[in-house]
C-alpha cells in the first residue's frame, strides 16, 4: 500500500492510499473558507456522560445530486473534496467536524455555576472513501480492496491515537437514508473523541468485574460459547467468527469477533486482516440478500481507549440494521429511548437463521 499526504485548499489534510504506486500531484483549486469548528463538550451531571455540541454542523452538505457528489473524484468544472481524477481509498479531514484540533477555549462550567463541566471539543474527525465508484458499496468491494480498507483503519487508528486530546478512536460506517445518511457515496468516518465514550466505559467496567470473578475475558467466554453452540453463528473461519449476539437488540444484529484478544485494529496480524476482509464481505452480502435490497446499517468498531483499559478490551465489530422487514423500520420509542431497555421483535436465533438462509 502506498500512502501520499497532500492538503486541500483550506489546509485540511488529505491522504491517498493506493494499492499500486501512483504519483498524487493534483491541486485543490477551490476557493474555500478556513474551517471554523466551534465544538464543545458538556458533562451531564445526572449520568456523568459527555455530550458533544457542534452547532456549526447545521450547514453541512445535505443530499447533493450524484453529479455534484463531494466524495467522487474531481472532474473538469466540477471540483470535489478529492482533487484527483481517480483513487483507491482516500481519507481527509471532515469539513464539518464534530471534534477538531483548532477548537479554542478552556475548561469551565455552564453559567460558571460549577455544576456542568464544559471543555473544548478538541479531537479529530476524518472521512474514509472506500472506492471512487459512486454507485458501489462496501459489499461490492473486492477482497483486496476490503483488505486495503482494513489497513487504512489500522493506519488512522495509530495516527489519531497520537493526536492531542484524543482518548478513543472510533471507525464506523453509516449506510442508508433510514440511518440518516446524507451522502450516498460509499464511505465511512473515523472519530477521535476527546473522552472515553459511555458505551466503552460501561463495557470496560463489565469486563473488569468478570475478569476479577472468573479470571477470563467476558467476550472470550461469549465467543467460545457461541462457537460451541453454533445456533447463532453466521460465518466462521480460522481467525474470526460472526454471530448474532445472544441478547441482540436490533432486528438484524451481528458481531464479528477475532479469536485472539487484541485491543485495536493495528494489533491484528496479516492473516487476521486477510480473513476479516473475506468474512466481512460475506456477512454484508447476506445483509443485502435478506430483503433483496441494500440494507441500511451501522458498522461500529469497538476498540480499546488510547490510554485506559487496553488489557481488558477485546476488539470487535458490531454490525446492525434498523430494518425489521423489507418495508418496516424499528423505531427507538419510549422504552429504548427513554429507559434504554430494548425490546426486539425477533429472537437472536431467528435472526441468525434468516441470515444463514440467504447465504
Angstrom distance (rounded) from CA 9 to CA 83: 10
Angstrom distance (rounded) from CA 151 to CA 18: 11
The one catalytic residue among 184, 185, 187, 313? 187
CB proximity list for 242: less than 8 A, separation 6 or greater:
233, 234, 235, 236, 254, 255, 256, 257, 279, 280, 283
Handedness of CA 156, 161, 162, 167 (dihedral sign): positive
CB proximity list for 210: less than 8 A, separation 6 or greater:
216, 217, 218, 221
Name the strand (E) or helix (H) holding 357. helix 348-357
What cell does 5 get?
A: 499526504
| DSSP secondary structure string for all residues of 119-145 | EE---EEEEEE--S-TT--GGGS-HHH
* Burial bucket for residue 23 (CB in 10 Å: 0-12, 13-18, 19+): exposed
The answer to whether residues 300 and 315 touch, using CB atoms and an 8 Å cutoff, is: no
Residue with cell 460501561: 202
What cell does 304 get?
A: 480499546
CB proximity list for 227: less than 8 A, separation 6 or greater:
233, 236, 241
**Is 316 in the active site?**
no
CB proximity list for 354: less than 8 A, separation 6 or greater:
290
Angstrom distance (rounded) from CA 57 to CA 53: 9
Q: Output the CA–CA distances (angstroms, integers) from residue 13 to 34, 35, 75, 192, 307, in the order listed.
A: 13, 12, 20, 15, 25
Angstrom distance (rounded) from CA 171 to CA 303: 9
Catalogue the active-site residues: 187
Amino acid at each position: 500500500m502506498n500512502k501520499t499526504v497532500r492538503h486541500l485548499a483550506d489546509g485540511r489534510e488529505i491522504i491517498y492510499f493506493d494499492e499500486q504506486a501512483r504519483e498524487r500531484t493534483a491541486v485543490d483549486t477551490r476557493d474555500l473558507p478556513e474551517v471554523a469548528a466551534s465544538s464543545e463538550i458538556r458533562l451531564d451531571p445526572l449520568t456523568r456522560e459527555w455530550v458533544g455540541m457542534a452547532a456549526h454542523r447545521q450547514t453541512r452538505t445535505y443530499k447533493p445530486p450524484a453529479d455534484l457528489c463531494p466524495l467522487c473524484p474531481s472532474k473538469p468544472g466540477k471540483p470535489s473534496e478529492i482533487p484527483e481524477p481517480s483513487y483507491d481509498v482516500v481519507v481527509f479531514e471532515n469539513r464539518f467536524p464534530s471534534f477538531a484540533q483548532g477548537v479554542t477555549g478552556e475548561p469551565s462550567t455552564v453559567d460558571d455555576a460549577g455544576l456542568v463541566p464544559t471543555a473544548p471539543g478538541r479531537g479529530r474527525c476524518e472521512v474514509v472513501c472506500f472506492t471512487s465508484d459512486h454507485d458501489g458499496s462496501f459489499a461490492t468491494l473486492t477482497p483486496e480492496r476490503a483488505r486495503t480498507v482494513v489497513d487504512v483503519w489500522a493506519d488512522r487508528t495509530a495516527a489519531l491515537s497520537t493526536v492531542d486530546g484524543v482518548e478513543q478512536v472510533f471507525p464506523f460506517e453509516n449506510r442508508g437514508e433510514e440511518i440518516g445518511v446524507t451522502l450516498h457515496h460509499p464511505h465511512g468516518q473515523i472519530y477521535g473523541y476527546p473522552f472515553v465514550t459511555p458505551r466503552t466505559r460501561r463495557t470496560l467496567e463489565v469486563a473488569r468485574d468478570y475478569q476479577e470473578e472468573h479470571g477470563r475475558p467476558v467476550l472470550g467466554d461469549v465467543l467460545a460459547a457461541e462457537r460451541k453452540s453454533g445456533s447463532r453463528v453466521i460465518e466462521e473461519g480460522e481467525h474470526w467468527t460472526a454471530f448474532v449476539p445472544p441478547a441482540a437488540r436490533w432486528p438484524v444484529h451481528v458481531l464479528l469477533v477475532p479469536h485472539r484478544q487484541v485491543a485495536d485494529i493495528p494489533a491484528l496480524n496479516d492473516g487476521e486482516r486477510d480473513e476479516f476482509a473475506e468474512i466481512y464481505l460475506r456477512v454484508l452480502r447476506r445483509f443485502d440478500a435478506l430483503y433483496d435490497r441494500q440494507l441500511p446499517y451501522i458498522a461500529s468498531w469497538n476498540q480499546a481507549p488510547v490510554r485506559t483499559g487496553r488489557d481488558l478490551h477485546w476488539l470487535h465489530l458490531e454490525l446492525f440494521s434498523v430494518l425489521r422487514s423489507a418495508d418496516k423500520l424499528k423505531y427507538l420509542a419510549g422504552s429504548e429511548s427513554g429507559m434504554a431497555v430494548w425490546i426486539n421483535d425477533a429472537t437472536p436465533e431467528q435472526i441468525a437463521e434468516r441470515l444463514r438462509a440467504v447465504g
